[in-house]
Amino acid sequence: MNNRELFFKADKAGFVLGAVLLATLTGCVGYVEGPRAGVYVEPSVQVDAGFVGQDDYVYYPGYQMYYGSRSHRWYDREGSSWVAHPAPRGVSADVVHSSPSVKMDFHDSPAQHHAAVVKQYPKNWKPSASSQGQNRKGDQQDDHGQNKGR
């Protein structure tokens, strides 16, 4: 019968100890912070058709994107709006830069020229063999036909 009394006390003490331990651990869970990992992505900026700015543009027909070499921004359409991005969407800048390109001769908004540009340089456009080194940004050939820009 003495065992019964001891068992009851141990049960009560164990219960209290368990409750205190549970409350302590539960209280700590709210304050535990795990490692944080994140990538900052600069937001896109909507550009209106009346955009006033001077830039030198390179057009990439395969992606229907423009790169502003002064602003270091990528311009393309998002629905019916023109949007500027810090990087091309859905593809790396290196991949786009290695595709066929044409240096544009306008300096205002691509939105004002895009209809004519698309007609002249359709999505599957490729430079002719004679003008291939002249149309690409960074491609300049020396007297021996070797690329100096890459």
Question: Where do the structural domains in the chain lie, given as residue ranges?
Answer: 45-126
Q: Is the per-residue pLDDT at 78 higher than 80?
A: yes
Range in 44-58, 65-79, 108-122 with the lowest mean pLDDT: 44-58
Higher pLDDT, 26 or 133: 26
Dist CA 110 CA 133 (whole Å): 23
Give the pLDDT mean for 6-26. Answer: 69
Q: Is 105 exposed, middle or buried (0-12, 13-18, 19+ CB in 10 A)?
A: exposed
What's phi and psi for 36, nearest 5 deg? Answer: -110, 135
Radius of gyration (C-alpha) of the chain in whole angstroms: 32
Q: What is the pLDDT of residue 125?
A: 93
Instruction: In whole angstroms, give the CA distance from residue 99 to residue 147.
Output: 16
Task: Say what the pLDDT of residue 144 is.
Answer: 37
Q: What is the pLDDT of residue 146?
A: 37
pTM of the model: 0.56
DSSP 112: G
